[in-house]
């Protein structure tokens, strides 16, 4: 039995790939939440134990070997087929997608001479983003979000980088989605300087595209918050509440993804590494700036969501005020009137004494009674009018009309 949480991330619907987050509002109701529950070993298990999930897709390995003058793309069957490329001067980018075969992953670990803990971090996802330096390798664990084509859902998966002298090994969870397409295109078409650079620049380029992938997702959250800002004042319902809480929860998750990523990139810049040249460090500084921008926006959105919860509560109280005002105005006006009517509905025997309800026998008794009622109504209305209760009621009505 694998003790990996069986559904770590909320699925969008049955056709949606695993790990997909859904940004549409509907998905916020009744679905299971979207925590990233980190992978954990069975307590006491050996370090380096690999846990292959049953439904993990089998690995697809693509090797792109390029130098300034040429670029080759090879689909690799067996991990050992990479070996001839690794020690050449040209940059070899081995991109593994899918974690579904323990055998292949172990052989991969053998080919790239990976420390058992590195292999564990790559395979037992999700891990916390981090950078770790090994003898002649650098391990970078990152989290990639990819906005789906429909703009309504995004996929979150782990990407691990193993940077060596002349190669870069990237391992992704899913074969179908990544944000590396434009980088492949730049290699293929020799756009920009990427073919003239080493594997460290490639690492930067991929990391940068991962970070840039957060922005469209954040923008989608920004739009949802804007919508909620309208909704929370004009028409706060129970669903609004769930949506606000849902956004807070998802932003917590996003923050948990991006925060360690920032620390990791900062560590790369600050501590340096023989594997990363000075030039690429300048580019990483740029990438670091973007990570900070993402964090900035996440924090801003979180504070806005918290403020929205207050606005919601106030708004609900406000509505209650209006409801109570309506009730009070109506009750306060009609209850005294009903009392007056009740008085003259009493059956005291008017024939026994002139003190018993003589009004009933007045010539203008009924009109006088109605006039009294009118006076009561007018003075109560004036009382409420001066306290400004009618204004708000009409305001509310017109606001609703305007919407």
Which position among 310, 371, 374, 378 is part of the footprint of a second copy (CB under 8 A)?
Answer: 310
Place of tokens 């309208």: 230
Cβ proximity to a second copy: between 86 and 210 the closer is 210
CB of 229 to a second copy, least distance (A): 7
Nearest CA among 90, 96, 53, 100 for reference residue 76? 96
Q: Pick out residues in 192-251 that bind a second copy (CB under 8 A).
A: 192, 194, 205, 208-210, 212-213, 215-216, 218-219, 222, 226, 229, 233, 235, 237-238, 241-242, 245, 248-249
Question: CA gyration radius for the chain?
Answer: 34
Contact region with a second copy (CB under 8 A), list: 69-77, 96-104, 165-173, 304-312? 304-312
Task: Tell whether residue 272 is a contact of a second copy (CB under 8 A).
Answer: no
Phi-psi region of 378 (alpha: psi -120 to 50; beta: other; left: phi over 0): alpha
Show the DSSP H helices in 235-277 as ranges: 238-271
3-state secondary structure 86-110: HCCCCEEEEEEECCCCHHHHHHHHH
Closest contact distance (angstroms) between CB of 164 and a second copy is 18
Binding to a second copy by residue 363, rule CB under 8 A? yes
Candidates 15, 19, 59, 52; CA nearest to 37 is: 19
* Residue 75 or 354 with smaller CB distance to a second copy: 354
Residues in region 50-109 near a second copy by CB under 8 A: none
Q: How far is the CB of 250 from a second copy (least distance, A)?
A: 11
Shortest Cβ distance from residue 343 to a second copy (Å)? 5
Q: Does 256 bind a second copy (CB under 8 A)?
A: yes
Residue 212: HSE in the Cβ half-sphere, 13 Å Cα cutoff: 13
312 lines the binding site for a second copy (CB under 8 A): yes
Q: Is the Cβ of residue 67 or residue 314 nearer to a second copy in the bound state?
A: 314
126 vs 141: CA distance, rounded Å: 10
Choosing from 26, 323, 375, 382, the residue that interacts with a second copy (CB under 8 A) is: 323
DSSP alpha helices (H): ranges in 147-237? 181-189, 199-212, 214-234
Site for a second copy in 104-133 (CB under 8 A): 115, 117, 120-121, 127-128, 130, 132
Residue 126 preceded by cis peptide, ω within 30: yes
Binding mask 280-299 for a second copy (x = CB under 8 A): --xx-xx--xx-xx--xx--
Q: CA–CA separation, 71 vs 184, rounded Å?
A: 10
């Amino acid at each position: 039995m694998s003790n990996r949480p069986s559904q770590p991330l909320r699925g969008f619907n049955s056709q949606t790939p695993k790990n997909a987050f859904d940004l549409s509002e509907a998905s916020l109701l009744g679905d299971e939440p979207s925590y990233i529950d980190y992978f954990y070993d069975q307590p006491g298990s050996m370090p380096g134990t690999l846990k292959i999930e049953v439904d993990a897709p089998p690995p697809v390995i693509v090797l792109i070997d390029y130098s300034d003058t040429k670029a080759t793309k090879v689909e690799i069957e067996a991990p050992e087929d990479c070996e001839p490329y690794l020690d050449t001067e040209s940059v070899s980018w081995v991109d593994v997608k899918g974690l579904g075969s323990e055998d292949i992953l172990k052989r991969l670990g053998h080919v790239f001479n990976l420390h058992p803990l590195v292999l564990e971090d790559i395979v037992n996802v999700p891990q916390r983003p981090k950078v770790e330096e090994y003898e002649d390798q650098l391990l970078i664990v990152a989290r990639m979000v990819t906005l789906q084509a429909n703009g309504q859902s995004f996929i979150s998966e782990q990407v691990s980088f193993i940077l060596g002298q002349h190669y870069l090994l990237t391992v992704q969870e899913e074969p179908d989605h990544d944000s590396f397409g434009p980088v492949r295109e730049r290699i293929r078409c020799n756009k920009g300087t990427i073919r003239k650079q080493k594997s460290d620049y490639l690492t930067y380029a991929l990391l940068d595209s991962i970070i840039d992938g957060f922005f469209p997702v954040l923008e989608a959250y920004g739009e949802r918050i804007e919508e909620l800002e309208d909704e929370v004042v004009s028409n706060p319902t129970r669903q609004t509440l769930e949506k606000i809480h849902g956004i807070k929860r998802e932003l917590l998750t996003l923050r948990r993804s991006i925060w360690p990523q920032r620390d990791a990139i900062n560590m790369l810049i600050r501590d340096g590494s023989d594997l990363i040249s000075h030039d690429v460090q300048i580019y990483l500084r740029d990438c670091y700036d973007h990570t900070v921008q993402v964090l900035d926006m996440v924090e801003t959105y979180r504070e806005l969501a918290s403020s929205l919860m207050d606005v919601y509560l106030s708004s609900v109280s406000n509505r209650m005020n209006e409801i109570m005002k309506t009730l009070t105005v109506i009750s306060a006006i009609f209850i005294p009137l009903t009392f007056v009517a009740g008085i003259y509905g009493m059956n005291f025997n008017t024939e026994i004494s002139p003190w018993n309800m003589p009004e009933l026998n007045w010539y203008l008794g009924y009109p006088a009674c109605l006039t009294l009622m009118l006076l009561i109504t007018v003075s109560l209305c004036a009382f409420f009018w001066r306290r400004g209760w009618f204004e708000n009621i009409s305001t509310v009505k017109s606001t609703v009309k305007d919407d």
